[in-house]
Amino acid sequence: MDVIKIQGTDDTPTVILDVENEIFQISGRSMPEDVGAFYDPVLDWLDNFADSSNDKMTFGFKLEYFNTASSKLILDILLKLEEMFENGKEILVKWYYPEDDEDMEEAGEEYADIVEVPFEQIPYED
């Protein structure tokens, strides 16, 4: 599978999807101008992963901030992960949040309530 590596900017997160090195993460700030165009390759990549023989994925979110438009696409990603989990893949979501950021902590809790997939919330120091 192709590797996706998108370097983050002030408005877009860093995205790494790398099967060989088992790195699956989105980090930084997510408020792209065209959220669909930014996240479509990620969703397509996940569709391809779902069809692959790889049975295991730990997907990390380490977002400092995301806007409303991004929140919908983050949910779309989580729903794809849930679908893979329901189809027998070993999926774990790790939601990292700054320990002093209640909004990001609550966002993770809300996502964890929506999707049926193993979900860990992990605070870190800024």
| Whole-number Å distance between alpha carbons of 48 and 19 | 11
Query: Which pLDDT does position 116 carry in this prediction?
Result: 97
Distance of CA 109 to the CA centre of its chain: 14
pLDDT in tens, 20-41: 999 999 999 999 999 999 999 9
| Whole-number Å distance between alpha carbons of 23 and 7 | 14
Distance of CA 87 to the CA centre of its chain: 19
Average pLDDT, the chain: 96
pLDDT in tens, 43-65: 999 999 999 988 899 999 999 99
Q: Residue 45: CB partners within 8 Å, gap ≥ 6? A: 1, 2, 4, 17
